[in-house]
Copies of this chain bind each other. A is one copy, B any other.
Amino acid sequence: MGQTVFIPRELDANEPRVAASPDTVKRLAGLGFDVIVETGAGTRSRIPDEEFAKAGAAIGKAADVAKADVVLKVRRPDETELKSYKSGAAVIAIMDPYGNDAVVAALAKAGVTAFSMEFMPRITRAQSMDVLSSQANLAGYQAVIDGASEYDRALPMMMTAAGTVPAAKVFIMGVGVAGLQAIATARRLGAVVTATDVRPAAKEQVASLGAKFLAVEDEEFKAAETAGGYAKEMSKEYQAKQAALTAEHIAKQDIVITTALIPGRPAPKLVSAAMVASMKPGSVLVDLAVERGGNVEGARPGQVVTTANGVKIVGHLNVPGRVAASASLLYAKNLFAFLETLVDKATKTLAINRDDDLVKATMLTDGGKVVHPAFAKADQQP
């Protein structure tokens, strides 16, 4: 009898994703695990119990978590859930620990070894475990679909006998994984796409997708561009010039999609109320950072706000969850790829190497203590 992996149904009403797929269940069994999936865990990602069963999982109930040596989740377990967890169990999820010291302390107190998938280092070896990328990619796609859905014109240029419908102007702010996929999707739909980022080096990526990079391209910019990567912060003068250019640009856009997040900190405000007010009625802003306070002034989590001047600000929660069926498949693979590194292939049991870089980067709590350096002080909480 092997060790047990348990995949619970997510309790958050706003979380349709699930941390396993029939494919990963099969692979987990291949690693020697007994797999239990809570009944209904996959329903909202369109994976019925039968498919998990066919792949080799037992279908169980929430209380079966007590048998689990490994728990795979989307969101971190809350304190009530943790009461049923076995001390020493490995719990792998998006732990979202920043600003949640009490929760981190609770994980330690429960004695679980908690891994925060969003801390996975962005190195080649861990690419297949990068949940931020896999989910941001889908969020970037869905942001364009959501924007197009709210927008009251067509995105592509249409040449018809009655005249030409001009292509929509779409502006992407923040060119990470989500921003790049948003650029690609808006381009696919035939929009005229521009994008911007605080990293001048992003210009090349934007251009490679057929979009135009918006920046004050002075000497300072050019120097920073060739420096590449996360360049040093630009001068105050440059920032002011860039802000003026951006403000002027936003007033002319039909759809603006913002994607700027800073790990562990509130989202930067990119679009002020004055900029929103400068836009034409019927224009649409999609704020992918709304859960972190928002990039757009006036965005409301979970709402589509229409401003006094007729601009829509779309603030959907959990945007990857809006394409849950795709999001769960990729998320499940990310988790499997990581868990595989924690298993001793010979004995077919969990063998966590606490010196491994991936473990060190992601391990939040272990043996009753908060072990992650960024949260060690959380230990002192009650």
A residues adjacent to B (C-beta < 8 A): 16, 45-46, 48, 127-130, 133-134, 137-138, 141-142, 145-146, 148-149, 151-154, 156, 158, 160-163, 165, 181, 185, 188-190, 280-282, 310, 322-326, 329-331, 333-334, 337
Q: How far is the CA of A141 from the CA of B191 in the complex (A)?
A: 13
Pair A133/B145 contact, Cβ less than 8 Å: no
> Given A145-B145, A188-B190 in contact, is the A46-B161 Cβ separation under 8 Å?
no
- Cβ of A190: which chain B residues have Cβ within 8 Å of it? 188
Instruction: Tell whether, in the assembled complex, residue B127 and residue A161 are in contact, meaning their CB atoms are under 8 Å apart.
Output: yes
Bound Cα distance A134, B164 (Å): 11
Contact between chains at B310 and A154 (CB < 8 Å): no
Contact A330 B134 (CB under 8 A): no
With A138-B154, A281-B48 given, is the CB distance from A330 to B160 under 8 Å?
Answer: yes
What are the residues of chain B within 8 A of A331 when measuring CB–CB?
162
- Look across to chain B and name the residue whose beta carbon is closest to the beta carbon of A128: B161
For the residues of A in contact with B, the DSSP-based class is helix
CA A161 to CA B331, docked complex, whole Å: 11
Docked Cα-Cα span, A27 to B151, in Å, equals: 28
Do A137 and B160 contact each other (CB < 8 Å), given the known contacts A165-B330, A326-B165, A329-B165? Answer: yes
Q: How far is the CB of A287 from chain B (nearest CB, A)?
A: 18
| Given known contacts A152-B323, A156-B185, A161 and B146 CB-to-CB distance under 8 angstroms | no
- CB contacts (< 8 Å) of A281 on chain B: these are 46, 48
A209 to chain B, nearest CB (A): 13
Q: In the complex, which residues of chain B have a beta carbon less than 8 angstroms from the beta carbon of A128? A: 161-163
Report which residue of A151, A154, A156 has the largest number of chain B beta carbons within 10 angstroms of its beta carbon.
A154
A310 and B46 within 8 A (CB): yes
Question: In the assembled complex, which residues on chain B have CB atoms less than 8 Å from the CB atom of A134?
Answer: 160-162
A62 to chain B, nearest CB (A): 23
Set of chain B residues within 8 Å of A133, measured between Cβ atoms:
160-162
User: In the complex, A330→B45 CA distance in Å?
Assistant: 40
Query: Which chain B residues border A326 with CB–CB below 8 Å?
Result: 152-154, 158, 165
Which among A158, A160, A324 has the greatest number of chain B C-beta atoms within 10 A?
A160
Once the chains are docked, how many angstroms separate the CA of A153 from the CA of B323?
5
**A127, A146, A148, A282: residue with the most chain B Cβ atoms closer than 10 Å:** A148
Cβ–Cβ < 8 Å partners of A142 in chain B: 154
Nearest opposing residue in chain B for A135, CB measure: B162
Q: In whole Å, how far is A100's beta carbon from the nearest beta carbon of chain B?
A: 26
Docked Cα-Cα span, A50 to B333, in Å, equals: 55
- Chain B proximity of A279: nearest CB distance (Å): 12
Residues of B within 8 A of A189 (CB): 185, 188-189
Could you tell me the distance between the alpha carbons of A337 and B162 in the complex, rounded to whole angstroms?
8
Specify the chain B residue showing the minimal Cβ separation from A146.
B149
B325, A130: Cβ atoms closer than 8 Å: no
Q: How far is the CB of A149 from chain B (nearest CB, A)?
A: 4
A161 contacts B130, C-beta separation under 8 Å: yes
8 closest cross-chain pairs (CB), A and B: A127-B161, A46-B282, A153-B326, A162-B333, A149-B149, A152-B325, A162-B330, A134-B162
